[in-house]
């Protein structure tokens, strides 16, 4: 169980850590990660659980959980979710007025 394991890591070290955890997963082990970085969660995890005030709002694959309507309910702000054409993974970005 890792709580925000990438919080103070640069992108390169985030990738190293995630790759090491995924390698362990392929060897029959698992990891439970707590992440607020939704793009990283979508890229790193096979399954996600979206919690609001300790209650499960959604559970499933990243594509099932990282949906604009669910994330807006969870975070109280509009977000955009697009599919990365290279990986097929969902990318999440908050809508920020300019």
Q: Which CATH number goes with the domain that contains 48? A: 3.40.50.300
- State how far the Cα of 92 lies from the Cα of 37, in Å rounded to an integer: 9
| pLDDT, tens only, 32-87 | 999 999 999 999 999 999 999 999 999 999 999 999 999 999 999 999 999 999 99
Q: Give the structural domain span for 67.
A: 2-94
Number of domains in the chain: 1
- pLDDT at position 9: 96
pTM (two decimals): 0.88
pLDDT at site 82: 95
pLDDT band for position 2 (cuts 50, 70, 90): very high
Judged by phi (left if over 0) then psi (alpha if -120 to 50, else beta), residue 33 lies in beta
């Amino acid at each position: 169980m890792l709580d925000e394991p990438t919080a103070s890591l640069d992108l390169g070290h985030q990738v190293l850590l995630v790759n090491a955890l995924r390698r362990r997963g392929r060897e029959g082990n698992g990891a439970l990660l707590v992440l607020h970085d939704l793009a990283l969660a979508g890229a790193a995890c096979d399954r996600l659980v979206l919690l609001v005030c300790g209650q499960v709002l959604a559970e499933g694959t990243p594509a099932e959980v990282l949906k604009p309507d669910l994330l807006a309910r969870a975070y109280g702000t509009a977000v955009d979710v697009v599919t990365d054409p290279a990986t097929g993974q969902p990318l999440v970005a908050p809508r920020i007025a300019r």
